[in-house]
Amino acid sequence: MRFSHILGTMILLAALCGTASSSQARDTDHYQALKQFSQVLDLIEKNYVQEVNRTDLIHGAIEGMLNSIDPHSTFIDLDKFKMMQEEFQGEFGGIGIQIGVRDKRLTVIAPIEDTPADKAGLKAGDIIIEIDGVSALDISLEEAVSKIRGPKGKAVVLTILHKDSQAPEKVTIVRGTIPLISVKVKELEPGYLHVRVTDFKANTTEDLHRKLGEYTANTELKGIVLDLRNNPGGLLNQAISVTDTFLRDGLIVYTQGRDPKSRKDEMATKQSTDVTCPVVVLINSGSASASEIVAGALQDRKRAILVGERTFGKGSVQTIMPLSDGSAVKLTIALYYTPSGRSIQASGIDPDLELPFVPAVENTEDGTEFRESSLSKHLDNPNGATLAGSMENEVKDALAKDNQLRIGLSMVKSLPRFMQLTN
């Protein structure tokens, strides 16, 4: 007994000494690294061919350090931090485009619907080669955003290599005011809605509930086609609350950092705003981050059918950490997992029905359909139903040109009742 006690004590002391030794080694390495950084900083300040600003050097060093970790961790200076806050809370001047770095190339994740970038023909997967004649090779994401944004009415020239093209082209885009309208609702047929969520801003869930409430005040909701195509993501809490709209209980998503104890579960709760009708979700390669959380949760929980193409595959969580001078660090702190435990990082989410987007073939040379309502002095429908120049005509054109939306509507109309939420 005495021997075992002595032995246990010796083992404990050895462990403590080992821990102390490891800690001292880390402290020594830390000191040496800081010493090396200080030496390089001093050498640049004293010997560089031109006078340099110390703050700029330090900011550049921090940015380089973070960029070496992963494509999403980065340094955000004061001006860029203010710009980021504007993006989530108010209007800003720009072209309306979400970009990222893929294979070291500046790539369009998704254009925001009805913005200058969207109208100029930019698509998910396009590569930005130059910005105003300056190479975008090895440019940081934050620098690219800063260059592309700017005052309303001022043009930016992008050299674009479209994903389906062999040669780049220059595209001149006049910047506009980018509104933060992230939810668009349109009736496809009585009782069936096309709900388009373009990204996840601070007011996305509130806007969704308001627009659905306005519709259901007068019409029974029979089904929703939830469109997350080209949705680049946004705020995690908004993705969670939007998903919660379609679930009564259970797991939505969980995040897991380096520490095994850091797991955080996000759960659905029963609410008066819950949507109980069948749901089809449209996805494509431009569906990223927060939109993948929504799609993955609804798929895993058997709450919706996913139609379209495999998603982008951004399964990491970033947090913004303000610094004392007003700048900030955006740091990847965790990965998120769908309810079944899937990480979609670099793999994406596969749809239940693989359906590539197929551009529609126009019916006439000028791209318009010719029917009775096109005739001059045609008789109106006695019930007041006319397609010419109406919302119904817009919907019909959208369905004719969008095979994914068309199939989504057909599927949501035929989904069995078990796809509905019950009490």
**CA distances (Å), origin 361, targets 119, 162, 366:** 20, 21, 11
Active-site entry in 73, 140, 285, 289: 289
What is the phi/psi pair of residue 412, to 5°?
Answer: -65, -30
Contact 267, 250 (CB under 8 A): yes
108 neighbors 125 (Cβ within 8 angstroms): yes
- Residues 255 and 264 sit within 8 Å (Cβ to Cβ): yes
Q: Is 316 a catalytic residue?
A: no
Q: Reply yes or no on whether 163 is catalytic.
A: no
Dist CA 359 CA 217 (whole Å): 35
* Residue in 73, 300, 316, 330 annotated catalytic: 300
Catalytic residue among 182, 241, 291, 314: 314
CA distance 148 to 161: 16
Cα-based distances in Å from 30 to 37, 44, 75, 234: 11, 21, 21, 35
Other Cβ atoms less than 10 A from the Cβ of 218: the count is 6
Strand ranges in 268-374 using DSSP code E only, listed in sequence order: 279-283, 305-308, 316-322, 328-337, 353-354
Is 289 an annotated catalytic residue?
yes
The catalytic site residues sit at 289, 300, 314
